[in-house]
A and B are shown apart, each in its own frame.
Chain A
């Protein structure tokens, strides 16, 4: 199994940056803390993965060079993570689909330590955090989907809106679908019909949303090259 470590790192980094936008804007204090804690986990994984990806390049690049000095066409993250946060339901739909993708992927990588021991060590660390994210997103999806008429409507809209972007995650993955299907069923939500399949993120072809996200994320480093805390 050949794995694009850069793509894994970019998924985590861009997801972290989006989730961090919720800081001080969460629907309540506990959820504000939860979203930023998840962002911190994703950032931690991103730092390790980008550090590893950069060390394998010729010449080597640091995690900061990869995060702050690449343009949008050089990022390999899936489109889903760069999409705007939307309302809380959209954020939870994105987190559910992302965590249901990252958890089994990290499990596979952790088990394949003979292929790539460095990547396996990072994956073994991240898998426990992903499992927690998946639980959290599933709890909220059920609470909103199987909640009031209004919360059900908004959660279903969120799932419908994000669904097309999930096709880019895997060519096919029965585990992902069974995990997501179970949560949707318990949430009294319908799985959207498969139709439009936007892709391109893995080849560096992104939505305009990524450029705006990068502008905010990179501005300090680009204005003050080499700056440290």
Chain B
């Protein structure tokens, strides 16, 4: 059974990829409620220096309080390290719908493959990387040769 608290915390939006919740992104590791009602939420960072983590911590506390929990603690756990493989299927669909190419799988095959980055706007595989670094730590900048539109892509990590 999903409680109102779990629903509220899972629905916290990522401040840099607003279309994703922290559950979609795969950085929410767990929610525990102790006997006295004290809530402990465990999250994991995407990148070590991700500046969004402080905002996410604050938003989690606010969401849990709004759901009726007075005492809330947010713990950060590094191990095992986050990977873009943890972005849910729903999350990938939301990214693509927002014009951001979802990350290509990096652990699926034993042979290293370079998968084509598809344009999230027109679907063409004829794309080129403009910059390996984008507007946030987790994105790179691409351009579609077919529709000529630039787009962000979430880096495989």
Contact = CB atoms under 8 A, between A and B. Distances in A.
Nearest to B53: A44
A126 B135 contact: no
A132 B78 contact: no
A120 interface: yes
Interface SS, B side: loop
A42 B48 CA distance: 8
Interface in A34-54: 34, 37-38, 40-45, 47-48
Nearest to A120: B79
Given A30-B141, A48-B78, A125 B48 contact: yes
A136 B155 CA distance: 14
Contacts of A126: 48
A45 B134 CA distance: 20
B81 A40 contact: no
A22 B80 CA distance: 33
A129 B50 CA distance: 12
Nearest to A49: B48
B86 to A, nearest CB: 13
A40 B49 contact: yes
B57 to A, nearest CB: 14
Contact of A47 (B49, B130, B131, B137): B49
Interface SS, A side: helix
Interface residues of B, number: 20
B131 A125 contact: no
Interface in A128-150: 128-129, 132, 135-136, 139
A220 interface: no
Interface in A84-117: 113, 117
Interface string B21-61: 00000000000000000000000010111110000000000
Give the interface size class of chain A.
20 to 34
B48 A33 contact: no
B78 A136 contact: no
Given A30-B131, A132-B132, A121 B79 contact: yes
A147 B119 CA distance: 31
Given A33-B131, A33-B133, A33-B134, A124 B80 contact: yes
A149 to B, nearest CB: 26
Contacts of B131: 30-31, 33-34
B78 A44 contact: no
Contacts of A113: 79
Interface string A203-224: 0000000000000000000000
Contacts of B135: 33
B137 A41 contact: yes
A30 B133 contact: yes
A40 B78 contact: no
16 contacts: A30-B141, A33-B131, A34-B133, A37-B133, A40-B47, A43-B49, A44-B47, A44-B48, A44-B49, A44-B50, A113-B79, A117-B79, A121-B78, A125-B78, A129-B47, A135-B132
Interface of A: 30-31, 33-34, 37-38, 40-45, 47-48, 113, 117, 120-122, 124-126, 128-129, 132, 135-136, 139
Question: What 5 A-B pairs come out closest when comparing CB atoms?
Answer: A44-B49, A44-B48, A30-B131, A121-B79, A34-B133
Interface of B: 45, 47-51, 78-81, 130-135, 137, 141, 155, 157
